[in-house]
Amino acid sequence: MDEPTRIREIYDRLIHTRDIQHWQPTSMSYFEGQPFKALLAAMLSAQTREENTTAAINNLLALADAPEAMMQLSDEQIRTAISPVMYFEGKVRYVRDIAEHVAANGGVVPRTLDELMEYKGVGWKVAVLTLAMGYGINDNITVDVHVARIGIRLGLVKATTKQPPKVNEELKQVLPREMWEHWNALMVMFGRTICLPTYPQCKKCPLNDICPKVGVK
Ligand code: SF4
């Protein structure tokens, strides 16, 4: 099997895997087409479990769901709302900074990585996720721990590649364009159900016969 055929086979088998199809959507997917909310949720999600991000963003949006209204909140209100996420003390400042910048920009969230990354608390991954969810711009693949780990195991990414932007570049060189949009969600679901971080379930994995299992003991 040549490499393009193997990659197509990986993709097709995964999207037809029952465990993956029945997995719940990520909290980010609730903010498709809503850039301001997507940006906040992406920023809050850094280093944080899915359910805690969901709780925090829902708390925050219940208090204020537009930039101007969010600027009126006290630090204490924001702190309490986002307390479920990791490093919430520092993220209070990021929430305020994002609300102020977006309000100053006429309520419009920027549509480029460079502009978004000028905001406090917005790194490459948060910016990519925001563009994908908020605007449907999928010029890059959102790289999280699942995408990076499974990319290496599947032999799509070099084992020495660590930085998310580099993982993204290597994946983009081998994955057809139409797969980029769905790759992150697919890997997140696959990484939570089968290709687990510590004990990958290779025996029941639909990719067992076409996976080189790089780094798997
Ligand atoms: S065969 Fe194992 S290492 Fe490869 S994708 Fe499946 S679970 Fe992950």
**Which of 23, 15, 21, 35 shows the shortest CA–CA distance to 129?**
35
* Fold: same for 3-24+140-210 and 33-135: no
DSSP 74: -
Identify residue 193 by its one-letter amino acid code: T
How many beta carbons lie within 10 A of that of residue 192, not counting itself? 17
**Coarse DSSP helix, strand, coil percentages of the chain, rounded to the nearest 5 percent:** 60, 0, 40
The answer to whether the CB of 10 falls within 8 A of the CB of 207 is yes
> Is pLDDT above 70 for 44?
yes
Candidate list 37, 125, 162, 172, residue with the active-site label = 125
> What does the block give as tokens for 135?
């605007």
Q: Find the 142 Cα to ligand 1 centroid distance in Å.
A: 20
Q: Find the 161 Cα to ligand 1 centroid distance in Å.
A: 18
pTM: 0.84
> What does the block give as tokens for 147?
């995408």
DSSP 26: P
> What does the block give as tokens for 185?
């969600």
Q: Find the 78 Cα to ligand 1 centroid distance in Å.
A: 41
Active site residue 204: no
> What does the block give as tokens for 106?
């006429």
**Which of 56, 46, 59, 79 shows the shortest CA–CA distance to 145?**
46
> Which amino acid residue places its CA nearest to atom 3 of ligand 1?
213
Residues with CB under 6 A from ligand 1: 153-154, 194-195, 200-202, 205, 207-208, 211, 213, 216
DSSP 30: G
The CATH number, out of the four listed (3.40.50.300, 1.10.357.10, 1.20.140.10, 1.10.1670.10), of the domain defined by the range 3-24+140-210: 1.10.1670.10
Average pLDDT, the chain: 93
Please give the pLDDT value at position 143.
Answer: 92
Distance between CA atoms of 16 and 111, rounded to whole angstroms? 33
List pLDDT tens digits, range 157-167.
999 999 999 99
CATH of domain 33-135: 1.10.340.30
How many beta carbons lie within 10 A of that of residue 112, not counting itself? 12
Distance between CA atoms of 207 and 209, rounded to whole angstroms? 6
List pLDDT tens digits, range 19-37.
665 555 565 677 889 999 9
Q: Find the 213 Cα to ligand 1 centroid distance in Å.
A: 6
> Which amino acid residue places its CA nearest to atom 8 of ligand 1?
195
Please give the pLDDT value at position 26.
Answer: 61
**Which of 15, 50, 38 shows the shortest CA–CA distance to 116?**
38
How many beta carbons lie within 10 A of that of residue 136, not counting itself? 10
Distance between CA atoms of 37 and 217, rounded to whole angstroms? 40
- Number of the ligand 1 atom closest to the C-alpha atom of 205: 6
- Extents of the domains making up the chain: 3-24+140-210, 33-135
Mean pLDDT, rounded, for 10-14: 94
Q: Find the 201 Cα to ligand 1 centroid distance in Å.
A: 7
Mean pLDDT, rounded, for 87-114: 96
Please give the pLDDT value at position 20.
Answer: 62
> Which amino acid residue places its CA nearest to atom 2 of ligand 1?
202
List pLDDT tens digits, range 131-168.
998 999 999 999 999 999 999 999 999 999 999 999 99
Mean pLDDT, rounded, for 93-117: 96
- Number of the ligand 1 atom closest to the C-alpha atom of 216: 3
